[in-house]
Structure 1
Amino acid sequence: MEDFNSWKDLLNPEFYIKLGGFWLILFIIFAETGLFVGFFLPGDSLLFVSGIYAVDIIRETFGSTGSELLDTTILASSVSLAAIIGNEIGYYFGVKTGPTLYKRQDTMLFKKKYLYQAHDFFEKHGALAVIMARFLPVVRTFTPIVAGIVKMDKKEFLRDNIIGAILWSFLLIFAGHYLDKLFIQHFGIDLKKKLELIIIVIVLVTTLPVIFKFLFGKKNDFSKYENHDSE
C-alpha cells in the first residue's frame, strides 16, 4: 500500500492507483458528482494515468483476461458506470434540494461560485452541457445538480449522462493506454516516468477554459439567483 507523504499526493493520480487501485478509482469518479466533494481530486489525469496502468489494475483486481484491449475496456466501462451513477445522484439531489444550495454558506468543500459557474455553463449550452461538462473540472461536479434544479427532462438527462460518461471515460483511458505503448515503441519514452509532466499538461488543458472564463468572462448577476431563491 502506498504511504501518504504530503498533501501533494492528493493531486497525484498515481498515488490513488497504488493506494486503492480499481475500487478507489471508481469511488473517486463517483464522488466527483455523487458526493459533490470531488472537484479538487484529479479526475481527467486520474483516468489518463489509469489507462497507462489499465492491465496492471485489472490483473490485480480480477486477474488478467489475457487481452490488453479487453482489460482496458473493462476498466473504461466500469469508470463509465461509476460516472453515470454519480451524475444521476447529483441530478436527483438537484431536483429535491438543489435550490437551497444557493443559500448555503461556503465551506472548505463547497464553494457557491462553482454552482453559479455551472448554472451559467448549463444555460449557455443547454442539454449539450451535460456531455461537455464531463471534460471540465469543477463544472462537471455541479452541472448535474443544476440540471436537476432547472428540471431538465430526466430521460434526456440520462441519455446525455450516458453519452458524456462513455466518451469521457473511454477517450481518456484508451488515450493513456495506447499513447503509452506508442511512445515506448516509437520513441523509447516510458510515460510512467513522465507522469508529473503529463499531469501538469492535462491540468492546464482542462482547467484553462474555466480559468479564462473566471478571469475574463462577464461577472455573474447574483441578483437573479437571489430572486430565484426567494421564489
Structure 2
Amino acid sequence: MTELHYAEWGVGLLLAAVFAVALLESLAVVGLLVPGVGLLMALTLAATDASVPVALWVVSGAVGAFVGDGISFWLGSKAGPAMHEWRIFRRHPDWINDGEHFFRRWGAWSIVIGRFIGPIRPVIPMVAGVLRMSPRTFWWANLLSAPAWACVYLGGMYWLGEAFVEHFGELDLTSALGLLVIASMVAVLVSVLARK
C-alpha cells in the first residue's frame, strides 16, 4: 500500500512538472530564458521510467502550453504597443520585431506554426495580443495547436524515452539527474546558437 502511494505521488509530481515546464516555455519572455527542451526531455525520460500513462503526459503538457499561451496573449492585450518599451525588448528589439513580422505574414496560423518554433514560441501569442487579434480566433488556434504540439513533441519524446529505457534499463536517481543536467546544457547551447 505504501509503495502504491509513493508511486501515485511520483506520477502526480511528474505530471505537475510537465504542466509547469510547458507553461513556462510558452510564457511571454520567460520562455526565452527557460531551457524548456532539456527539461522536457529529462522529465519525459523520467515519466517513461516511472510508467506514467502517455495520454496523461500529453494532456498535462497540452494544458500547460494552452495556459502559457493564454497568459501571454492576455499580457499582450493589456500592454499594447507599450510592450516595445519594456526593458527586455529595448535590449533585444529583434525578438519582438521578428515576432511581429511572423504574425503579420501568417496571421492566425502563426499561433499554430509558431508553437513548433522554439525561438518565437513565447513571443507570438503576446504579439497577437498587442496587434489586437480577435480573442475568439486566438483561443481556437490555441485550443487546436496545444494538443497538436503535445502529441508531436511530448508524445515523440515519450516514445524515444520508452526506447531508451527498454534498451538501457531503469534509471537510478543519479543517472536521471545527470541526464537532466546534460539535456539542459544542450538545450541552452542550442538556444544560444539559434539566437546568434
> TM exceeds 0.5?
yes
Alpha carbons 2:37, 2:184 under 8 Å: kept: no
1:163: which partner in 2?
144
Q: Over aligned residue pairs, what C-alpha RMSD do you find? A: 3.4
1:227: which partner in 2?
none
| Letter of the 1:52 counterpart | L
2:85: which partner in 1?
103
CA separation of 1:55/1:113 partners in 2, compared to 1, >3 Å: closer, same or farther? Answer: same
Alpha carbons 1:50, 1:176 under 8 Å: kept: no
Structure 2 CA distance for aligned equivalents of residues 154 and 24 of structure 1: 28
Alpha carbons 1:128, 1:160 under 8 Å: kept: yes
CA separation of 1:129/1:89 partners in 2, compared to 1, >3 Å: closer, same or farther? Answer: same
Deviations 1:37-96 (A, max 9, x none): 232212233333332222456xxxxxxxxxx5x712112101111111111111121112
TM value normalised by structure 2: 0.72
Alignment map for 1:9-20 (pairs within 5 Å) = none
Structure 2 CA distance for aligned equivalents of residues 86 and 30 of structure 1: 4
Alpha-carbon offset, residue 31 of structure 1? 2.5
Alpha-carbon offset, residue 148 of structure 1? 0.8
2:30 to 10, 25, 37: 37
1:78: which partner in 2?
60
CA separation of 1:162/1:191 partners in 2, compared to 1, >3 Å: closer, same or farther? Answer: farther
| Letter of the 1:168 counterpart | W
Alpha carbons 1:34, 1:89 under 8 Å: kept: yes
1:141: which partner in 2?
122
Structure 1 CA distance for aligned equivalents of residues 83 and 70 of structure 2: 17
Alpha carbons 2:25, 2:31 under 8 Å: kept: yes
Query: Structure with the greater relative contact order (CA < 8 A, sep ≥ 6): 1 or 2?
Result: 2
1:25 maps to 2:25: no
TM value normalised by structure 1: 0.62
Structure 1 CA distance for aligned equivalents of residues 160 and 110 of structure 2: 28
| Percent of residue pairs bearing the same amino acid type | 21
1:177: which partner in 2?
158
2:95 to 114, 117, 120: 114
| Letter of the 1:173 counterpart | L
Alpha carbons 1:122, 1:143 under 8 Å: kept: yes
Deviations 1:169-223 (A, max 9, x none): 22222222222333565xx45697794379738974x887x54xx6xxxxxxxxx
Helix, strand or coil: the match of 2:30? coil
Helix, strand or coil: the match of 2:126? helix
